[in-house]
Structures are given as structure tokens and as C-alpha cells.
Structure 1
């Protein structure tokens, strides 16, 4: 009998009942009454007559069907049932999907996101979705080698996102460790890459530390021609040196002007999610100058929620760029940004001899020693109150051109 040709397969017409056209060595084309054509292969294994499907014609060509037939015959020659081999492959493929890097990473993220702030949790998964999953996400996590991960992270570095590459390596390491615990990976390739990525040269936020130039900045702020709300934010930024977001979202309910204190709720501080929920507020002593600024601001925004409401919508705060844009307009572009006031104050206060722990607590930096932290809370509040008043007095001196005046811890 002549072998089946592509033309013959294409021209095979349906009949009232399904029929077969032999294609050689057990392979045949089954033509259905509805015109569908299926590749099938008859074979025997352990004295049983069995059938193996190889797809639909013409999506699977004659040549491809014959290749699949030959692969099955090679398995049979090795004592392997091709049908069972196919089922095992499907199970393995399904396991690869379940144990893919993306699946395990999302599972790990879901387990731990309650430990982080919502912003931080979103930052982690967004970075992976953008820079890792499209390239390595569908790979079985146990199959990923250090070279695979290194290649992807180096691509991220080449586009200039060096810090992102380092963060992703740090975030992926616990993902692989989690996979090891689950038994779906044998090693942590991210840990093997420690020291393999280009180093990061950390640049601090631009700031000004030279007293005469600080004085020029303060005089420019005093003469700022924009809205009083923005000018108040500009004046309080160097005086209180809190994180810009903590100042922008300040609410009138957090202030006690009679006690000269600002108490920022734990939920608004830069802390871990658990610490945000259970932590104590951060108390900031207010200098007499700060109280005066707030008293002058209150008639403008005191009826609302926020100290610094937006111009278009009082239910929202000024944008994160408001203070920086004002600094640019005043001629200090690239010299200082809102966050730079923290470094400005920290440098001057440390050089003047104020207690380092009091400065760190004012900056709301985490104290890793919990016992000392509790002790510091009581001990340093009075110290910080003196420090904040001395700092405000010093800023007034610089603004007035008394650049040689130094305030020192008593």
C-alpha cells in the first residue's frame, strides 16, 4: 500500500462513519463524519493493544505526526509506554507551573506582606512583576541557576537601575530559601550572587552645611513670594527637619500649641507594619518660633484637617514637589531638597556637641536597642526640647547674618 501523502490527507472526505487512512508503522489518520481529521498511533505494550493521539491535521502536519510516531517507537524500544510517559510529562509540567519562580514568589509575598507597610509590600511585588517575572517567572524555581539570575540583574543594572538590581537580589533570596523549605529548590542562587553586582555609590540628598549659605537660604525663604501655606512649610522644614512626607501630611489634631508639642501617630511614621499598628507616637518638641509660625498658619488652614492643604483641593495636601519647586525658584536648585534639611540639622547639631542619641531620636531613626530606646524616650525629651529651641535660635542668627554664632550644648 502506498504511503499517505499530504495531498491525500488534505483531500480525504468525510463519510457516514469514521474511517482510517494508514500512514505507516502504526500511524493513521482518522477521518470523522464531521470532517475533522485526527492523527492516531496503534501500538502494543505488554501484550495490550493501545492507542496514542498525535494531534489534529492540518495543525499537526504529516511530517510532524511521523516524527511523533518515531519518538513513541523509540520509547517502546526502551521498554517505556509512550502514553504513560506523556502523562508523567504533563504532571511534571503542571508541577513546574505550581513551583515556578513567580508562583513561589507570590506565595512568599502573601505570607509576609502583613509584616510590612502596604507601600513597601507593593514596592516588592511591583519590582518583581516589572523586572523578574516576564523573564524568569515561568521557570521552575529549582531550575534557576546563579548565571540565569545574574544575567537578568545585570540587564537591570545596564539600564541604570543599580539599586533596583541590588534590592531584587535581596528580596529574591528569601523567596529561594522559602522554596528550599518547601522542597522545590535545592539552593539559593541569589545568595551566590553576593558581591557579583556592580557596587552602589550612595549619594546623600543634596544639602547645605556652610553657615553663610544657610543664612542666604533662610533669607530667601523669609522673602518667598508664594502662598503663606508654602512659605510656612518652607520655614518649618529646616526648623523641625522631619521627613518631607511626615510634614506634608501633618494634621492640626496632632498639635498641642499650649504644650509646644507635635505628636505624630505611629501609623504615619516610617516603621514596619507591626510597629506602625502598635507603636507609640513620635513626639516633637516645638520651639517658640515654630509655635509662632503655626499660630499664624492656623487662621488659614485650621478649619480643615491638614496644616498644608492643596490649593485646588483642601481635602488633599500640597504635592511632594511643592517645597522642592519653591527651593528651585529661589535659586537653590541642585543645592538642597526638602529631605536635605535633615542632613543639614544633623551635621550642625553633631558638630555643636549635642547628644548623638537625642539627635537620632529627633530624626526618628530606629533605636535597635529596645531597652535603651525606652530609657531614651524619657531621658531625651527634655534634652530634645532644649536642642530644638537652640537650633531655632541658631537659624534666626544665620538668617540675620550672624554667621559666626555657634550654638553649643550646655
Structure 2
């Protein structure tokens, strides 16, 4: 049976490992309990988290046990990694609500039945800590000089790093120690921006418990230009269908750059690597077939087969100029809402988040209504702009929305 380490390496997940030979050996021989932390700072996971869920799924399918650690405690502090500004503070109630939402989304890929995976919350041990005891037990093992060289702090030092956030590394290190003591967890995984925090935790276990602990990071989901993927005009590409509809989700993957198709197929689907490489080699018009496979497979994992089929049918109907509009994202309005400008309509119906973005779209010639290009941002929308109470809006070449009068 293939070692999951080799699978993860072949598919392009692994970026850094603390002890490569030992970790590979361990994953090939034993059932390993590992963890990934998720701070519940929103009420949905996004596509960056999805990559980490895929790693959990590969690991679980190979017989290992995942712990999805919800950061109910750490979310009250905020991780400075990869951030230029301090995160906003959340209430305990908000964090708890977000944690519940996460669990439902994890279950799409990770099986929590019969202790096959564990959902833990670091609020259970962090929120009632005695600060002096914590400093004596944990703080004594952290060198401030070393912490200041960590990438996650370096970026923030220019703008100012609060002491609140400076504690984050100690708290994450302590999480690993707690999970090691409670569940025998010996491996922490995370995005590459977590490398310093992961090393700190593994080091703490070695010092406190005199036994080995390991860390592994994966590449962040970036495009061929090195920019983070999963950003849309409306913000993040969410896994919750109320925040990002399955159609929009499908369209995002349908429209990725040609150069990113093979990487996305490897990281975000379970297709065999032979098939991934075959699709990745397609050129010109044929690469569109590979993009359809990518969009369908990722949407199927996140939203289920039925939603993936609907999104695919809607995209094909529009592309072929077909008549089926039922799966295109649709907003209903009343006749009373007519008489506003096209800019107001687009923002009021939440097709775009701001008037400046809507205006820019018009100025760049990227907005059409019922196949007519709109050049006047102040054009007033009336009943005459609707065909049989329906209006089709296209942004750019491939983003469609429909507005219907009730």
C-alpha cells in the first residue's frame, strides 16, 4: 500500500517538514494522530481551508486519525501570521456559532464516526488557564530573540505588534502539547505561514515530555503568479452555498488560468495523478475540457453531485446560448425597486459589493444587460429593460446573474 507521505508529495501538497525521513517512516508504519487548527473567525470555511481538508481526507483514507482543532481560545487573540493588521475581536457566542458551522463543513470530507476523527476546541484548556502557571510551565521554554526572527512576527514589527498577539505562538505551542497529552497527537499540519508556530509546538513537546513530535506544512493555494487563489469580486470563495452559490463556485474553477489547471486538479480533487497529468497537458481550446472536469469535481466534493450537475448545466446553457436559466444565480425584486440607476441595482441586489466596483465594471466595458453593452453608469432601469420580467446580467465574459420581477 502506498505511503500517504508519497501521495501528498506527488500531488504537490508538502512544503516543509521538520524531520522528513522520520515522518515518512512513521506514516508508513503506524496509525498516526495528527492535527490541523482552524480559527473560527467567520461562519464558513473558505477555499484556503478546503486544501487543508483535502490533506485531512488523504491522511484519514490512509488510516491515520485527524483532529480538527477549533481555535475557540486562540480566536479570542488572533493569529498575526500573514496579516499586516490586527484581527478584530469576536465574542464567545460568535466563535461558538462559527465553530458549529465548521463542523458541518468538515464532515463533507472527514468521517467523525467511531473516533475515526476528533473535533476539539482549544477554549477547553486555554480559557481557564492561570497566567502565572502558564508562564512558568510554557513561557520559560520560549526565547523572545528567536520568536522575533519568526516570519509571522517580522512582518508585523514594522506596523506594531501587540503583546496580545505575541502570545499567540505560546498558545499554539501549548495546543500541540495538550493534544499530545490528551490524544497522543504527534504531528501538526498547517499552511506554510504556520511554520514558526508548528516548530514551536513540536519543540515544546520534546522539552516537556522528552518524546518526539513533528510538523509539516503545505503550500498555500496560489496561482502561477504567486497570488492567493480563492479571492473573488465579492471577497473570499466560501464553502457555504449561502455565501458563495454552487454556480459561482463552479464558475470560479471553470475560469482559472490555463497554467493553474493541473495544480488545482492535483490539490483539490481525488482524480488519479495519471489523469491529472493527462488533463494538464491539454492545450488551447482543449484545456477548457480540463477546466470543466476541475470545476465539476471540486463542486461535487463541496456541494454534492446534484449541485455540481446543476451548476454544470447552467454554465453550459449560458455558454451555448441555451434557454435554461433556472440554475443561474437569481435575485427577485419588486416593481417598486425599479427606477434606480444600473449601479444601484447591481449593489442593491448584492451582485457586486460596492458602487465603485460596479462603476469600474461599466467604465471598462465589462457589463452587459440582455446582451447589450452598458456604457452609461447612470442609466435608469425600468420595466423596458426586462424580457418577460427577467433580466440577464453578464459581468466580463462568463459571470452571469439574473434579476426577476416578482
TM over 0.5: same fold? no
Normalising by structure 1, what TM-score?
Answer: 0.21
Normalising by structure 2, what TM-score?
Answer: 0.21
The structure richer in strand per residue is 2
Who wins on radius of gyration, i.e. which is larger? 1
